[in-house]
Structure 1
Amino acid sequence: MGRVSAEPAVAAEIPGSAVDPYADRVPAPPLRFLYGLNPLVKLLAPVPAMVLLVFVRDIATPSAFLALSYAVLLVGVNFTRRLAAILLLAVPLGILLLGVGFSLWTDAAQVDSTPVVAQLGAWTLYRGALEIGFASAFRIVAIIALALPAGLSTTGPDIVRSTVQQLRVPYRIGYTALAAFRFVPRFGHELEVIRQAHRVRGAHGGRGPFATAARWTGYIVPLLAGAIRHAERVALSMDARAFGAYPDRTERHLVPFRARDVVFAVLFLAASAVIFVALFPWGLG
């Protein structure tokens, strides 16, 4: 009996599911190059810059990497409302909140020689505290932004396929982890079905904290029962396909490592090196 793909173990698609983060992505135009790259390249190419950003203390360097991430996203992925909300709302708001928060936590004794920005009674906010706070905020947001190109252009199955095919991760580990991750959208779908059934039957109506607690308590048992049934189906599906019976399996979908991946990695590393060399945020010793 031939060995078939391990991917059916991650279960069939959920009918009527609104959002499935592990479903196949809709084909994108050729210009959106990130969708055609190997997931490992998109994940690993920014890692050196992310590690070095931990040790910088200025604002210019993380700002440059933030601009680099924006440029890659605007060119490499489809421009959607989700992307616009992240770039235009979530990122600036995150910088503002983190910057103000870190500024308030900064020890005033270390920056009391800088000009005063605001004063309220005995509490004083110095410009040095703002500089430290927003430098930390830009650094954290820049590190997160460097992970966005991979996160917004890669699906869960492709990451698993690439780790199994390129990194030689045992497929028993890769596809088992993917099957576990697939439970998340499944639980969301089943929870919505249970909530609709309760509303139709008029169960746990009313407002207030006690009614809310009663509603959520009523969701637990059917949700756990559905989770057990789903786990049994996945286990039977994996057994039926001889999952784990052979040292390797035939892949239905290949995620190749091509010349374009090498070019992207080289260009991204070169751009990172240019930014660090040009700005050199560590001083001269």
Structure 2
Amino acid sequence: MLLHNLNPAIKALTVIVCILILSIFFDPVTPLISITFTILVTLLLGKVSWKRWLLLFSPFLFFAIVYIWSSMWFAEVEAGDTILWQWGFLTMTDSGLETAISLGLRVLSFSVLSLLFVLTTKPVDFILSLMQQCKLPPKLAYGIMAGYRFLPLIREEFSIIRSAHRIRGVKQKTASLPERIRNLKRYIIPLLAGAIRKAERTALAMESKGFTGEGDRTFYRRFHVSGKDWLFLFLMVSGILMSVFVSWSLGTLGLYQKEL
């Protein structure tokens, strides 16, 4: 069962359900086990390169570390807390350390679930699946796909405009703020004009092909929901619930509202 072959809509539903379950609880053990489980599923069933995964995961890890650091040192000291270390106005307590780690791991657990979906799902397949399984209106769906297709073209046009300015001797780097604003206008206006032309051509092409935006349309590529999709949903939810059970067995399980 490869994750790339699963129905994108069911895969998105699985990620949403897992995130909702994790959002109920607040402790360091539950997200830690769920992170380990999700990483194993992504690397083994998703056939994702661990180098690419680490590259995309590193920004989330950095922000989580910063979040843990700030929450750990600037937490309020309450009655009954044990002070682990203190220097000036910085105070580390046992409850503050546990809360900071729980918050950081909570962020990482949501991040690895999102990476599981992003790295194993093609955007176009996801939109088509939403139209077929979730009855997403075709007007909205094809508008999203057209915008997604325009992004690489806009980047290419931006590079062409910069090269043309460089050939004509336009200064690329200036210290003056007004000059920077004028340079920005030189890029924005041609890009907007090109985007409007492409949008008009796309609209005319879709109209000439008989696109009306009605929901009862046929598809060249059909997406179906099979037993593998529901098995994946059961597998992921079971893994998250197992992490909750382990945390409850260790006596560390807590609810989010109770902790806050």
**TM range, normalised to the smaller chain?**
0.7 to 0.9
CA distance, structure 2, for counterparts of residue 202 and residue 276 of structure 1: 63
| Identity, % of aligned positions | 26
Deviation readout 1:29-67 (Å, 9 max, x if unpaired): xx7x11111111221113232112223221111111111
Q: Does the 8 A contact of 2:7 with 2:223 survive in 1?
A: yes
Match of 1:52 among 13, 17, 21: 21
Structure showing the higher helix proportion among its residues: 2
How far apart are the structure 2 equivalents of 1:264 and 1:72? 10
CA displacement at 1:102 relative to structure 2: 2.3
Cα deviation for residue 150 of structure 1 reads 1.0
Equivalent AA in structure 1 for residue 217 of structure 2: R
Q: Distance in 2 between matches of 1:199 and 1:184?
A: 23
Query: What 5-or-longer segments of structure 1 have no aligned partner?
Result: 1-30
Q: Is the 8 A contact 2:131 2:141 kept in 1?
A: yes
Contact kept, 8 Å, 1:190 with 1:223, in 2: the verdict is yes
Contact 1:118 1:124 in 2 (8 A): yes
The residue aligned with 2:203 is 235
Is the Cα contact below 8 Å between 1:99 and 1:133 reproduced in 2?
yes
**Which of 194, 203, 212 is the aligned partner of 2:170?**
203
- Alignment-derived partner of residue 43 in structure 1: 12
**1:282 counterpart letter in structure 2:** G
> Could you tell me which residue of structure 2 aligns to residue 138 of structure 1?
105
CA distance in 2, matches of 1:253, 1:163: 13
User: Does the alignment pair 1:156 with 2:123?
Assistant: yes
On the 8 A contact 1:42/1:149 being kept in 2, the answer is no
Aligned ranges 1:120-135 → 2 under 5 Å = 120=88, 122-135=89-102
Q: What is the RMSD computed on CA atoms of the aligned residues?
A: 2.4
Give the match for residue 237 of structure 2. 269
Q: TM-score, normalised by structure 2?
A: 0.86
Q: Report if the CA contact (8 A) 2:9-2:130 is conserved.
A: yes
The one-letter code of the counterpart of 1:267 is L
Q: Is 1:62 the equivalent of 2:34?
A: no
Answer whether contact 1:77 1:152 (CA < 8 A) is retained.
no
Decide whether aligned partners of structure 1 residues 195 and 257 sit closer, same or farther in structure 2, where only a CA change above 3 A counts.
Answer: same
Counterpart check, 1:147 vs 2:117: no
Q: For the residues of structure 1 that align with 2:140 and 2:173, how far apart are their CA atoms?
A: 46
Matched with 1:90 is 59
Give TM-score scaled by structure 1 length. Answer: 0.79
Alpha-carbon distance in 2 for matches of 1:44, 1:240: 35
What letter matches 2:47 in structure 1?
V
Question: Which of 190-199 and 221-230 deviates more?
Answer: 190-199
Residue 184 (structure 1) aligned with residue 151 (structure 2): yes
In 2, Cα distance between equivalents of 1:111 and 1:183: 57
